[in-house]
Amino acid sequence: MSLGPLPGFRDFYPNELAERSFIFGAWREVARRYGFVEYDGPPLEALELYTRKSGEEIVGQLYNFTDKGGREVALRPEMTPTLARMVGARANALRKPIRWFAIPQLFRYERQQRGRLREHFQLNVDIIGEPSVTADAELLAVAIDIMRAFQLRSSDVVARVSDRRLLEGYLRAVGVPEASLPAAFAVIDKLERVPRAVSEEKLAGAGIPAEARARVLDVPCATLDDVAAALGDAPHRAVLEEFRRYLDYLRALVGDDAEQWVRFDLSIVRGLAYYTGIVFELFDVKGELRAICGGGRYDNLLASLGGADLPAVGFGMGDVVLGELIRARSLMPSAAPAIDTWVAVADDASTTDAMRVAARLRARGRSVEYALREQKLARQLKAASAAGARETVILAGADLARGEAVVRRMADGEERRVNLDAWIAEG
RNA sequence: GUGACUGUAGCUCAAUUGGUUAGAGCACCGGACUGUGGCUCCGGGGGUUGCGGGUUCAAUUCCCGUCAGUCACCCCA
């Protein structure tokens, strides 16, 4: 029992890798159906790529070091800066809107806890260069279809959608002073986890009047109509119209059960960093896990990172929480090993005979194993069974002399005598 | 980075008030079964009881430290 993996890092034994591949496979398949194409970038980047926009304080959250050439570098904590750079470098040459996805391994130097490691794989899906809300709808539709690809239903997962502009307008309309908006955002972000009294106290401390405080605390319950009523004829009217079209588009894309999948929830804040419009998060309905996926519109980010000035929408979906949910709902397929054929030898047949047959089967694309050392037939069949072989071909010297062999179907033990050449040819 | 709780075989767990050589099930390897797997029976390997120190005649057990894990903060992906 020597050194294990570093804290927050994972070993992927064949079983775990099979689960990971299952998740990646579904991600790629759904992304492909929506016409997204896969890209990737380097896992190690210049530290400045991350500090330029986020400031030096982000360094505490990064795996960073000085390389042997004296360069300050960091393992990537997110994909968007890399994406911005790649798009920026060829902005004029790329067909718009750009529909790209990636499955980067991301790193973060933070104390680990459930669903949150120091390393994870995250599906990133982005549409760049399309300001219309159709792109927002397309994006959430991908995320929901990915849930469906895992056999998750709207009784398992719900998308909560909000719009930072609506939230801001609503807060102003109900009497939150301009200067208190950031504090109000922070409280709203934590409403679910913090006792109501504590939240109220914080709002009071931020200088928000009592009447407005009550409205802020009820933000999670505010309906789209409530928001419309509060906003009146303010300039936010257009945003409201846009949001209603968004929901219409979702009904068209997701289907009749779109209402079950999507819930308006103004309290979704999403770190409030660079999002400029509609934002969403996917949660397990039982509320036992962290967010499965989060994303939204970030129209200014690419320009501020020094790339092209293009509007964008995107989301990230990590493999850790998603994997937990899939396992919790018993939707993770078992990763039993399965080979096509086991080649066994009996009597005076030799390992060399098994090798020759195995080679011919393998050349025809079959997955084939045989005993690497001499074993009794019973032992070989046991190994064949453990390896998940569908069938075992039993070679014996006398049969081989006639060009024959016995093929045993492992499921029920039924055996038939075959002409070896013909049998290999039909495989 | 802060706090609370928890660390015994690959996994799930035992081990009397501190008391011989730390056990069991599952898993793994082998035998019973010299040409037939799954079942059964038998056997085997595998532990510095996370690590280090302390108290004691004696520590898996009590104390301290440390590392790791879980959870909650912080923060976010």
pLDDT digits (tens, 9 = 90+) for A282-326: 999 988 888 899 999 999 999 988 778 999 999 999 999 999 899
Say which residue the tokens 């709203």 belong to.
A188
Token pair for residue A348?
């005076």
Going by their DSSP bridges, the two strands A391-396 and A404-409 should be labelled as antiparallel
pLDDT over 70 for what percent of chain A?
98
Q: Is the minimum distance from the CB of A2 to strand B below 7 Å?
A: no
CA–C1' A7–B68 (A): 8
Q: Which helix (H) or strand (E) holds A29?
A: helix A14-33
pLDDT score recorded for residue A198: 83
Q: Is the minimum distance from the CB of A7 to strand B below 7 Å?
A: yes
Averaged pLDDT, A182-206: 84
Give residue-wise pLDDT tens across range A209-261. 988 999 999 999 999 999 999 888 767 788 999 999 999 999 999 999 999 99
A381, closest nucleotide (Cα–C1'): B37
pLDDT: which is higher, A155 or A199: A155
CATH superfamily of A14-328: Bira Bifunctional Protein; Domain 2 (3.30.930.10)
CB-based contacts of A154, cutoff 8 Å, min separation 6: A257, A260, A261, A285
Report which residue is nearest nucleotide B9 when distances run from CA to C1'. A1
pLDDT score recorded for residue A272: 57
Asked if A62 and A119 touch (Cβ cutoff 8 Å), the reply is: no
Identify which of A319, A273, A318 has the alpha carbon closest to the alpha carbon of residue A296.
Answer: A273
pLDDT score recorded for residue A271: 67
Averaged pLDDT, A63-81: 92
Asked if A223 and A247 touch (Cβ cutoff 8 Å), the reply is: no
CA–C1' A1–B14 (A): 22
Asked if A358 and A386 touch (Cβ cutoff 8 Å), the reply is: no
A271, closest nucleotide (Cα–C1'): B76
Strand B: positions under 7 A of a protein C-beta atom: 1-2, 10, 28-38, 47-48, 50, 67-77
pLDDT: which is higher, A288 or A94: A94
Give the lowest-confidence range in A50-54, A113-117, A154-158, A289-293.
A50-54
Q: Is the minimum distance from the CB of A11 to strand B below 7 Å?
A: no
A7, closest nucleotide (Cα–C1'): B68
CA–C1' A2–B18 (A): 30
CA–C1' A106–B4 (A): 30
Q: Is the minimum distance from the CB of A347 to strand B below 7 Å?
A: yes
pLDDT score recorded for residue A2: 46
pLDDT score recorded for residue A306: 79
| CATH 3.30.930.10 location in chain A | 14-328
CATH number of this structure's domain A341-426, picked from the four choices 1.20.1740.10, 3.90.1640.10, 3.40.50.800, 2.40.50.140? 3.40.50.800
Asked if A407 and A415 touch (Cβ cutoff 8 Å), the reply is: yes
Say which residue the tokens 């509007």 belong to.
A311
Asked if A321 and A115 touch (Cβ cutoff 8 Å), the reply is: yes
Average pLDDT, chain A: 91
Identify which of A135, A80, A126, A81 has the alpha carbon closest to the alpha carbon of residue A99.
Answer: A126
**pLDDT of A176 higher than 70:** yes
Q: Is A426 exposed, middle or buried (0-12, 13-18, 19+ CB in 10 A)?
A: exposed
For A209, phi then psi, to 5°, come to: -60, 155
| CATH 3.40.50.800 location in chain A | 341-426
| Chain A 167-226 residues whose Cβ is under 7 Å from strand B | 190, 193
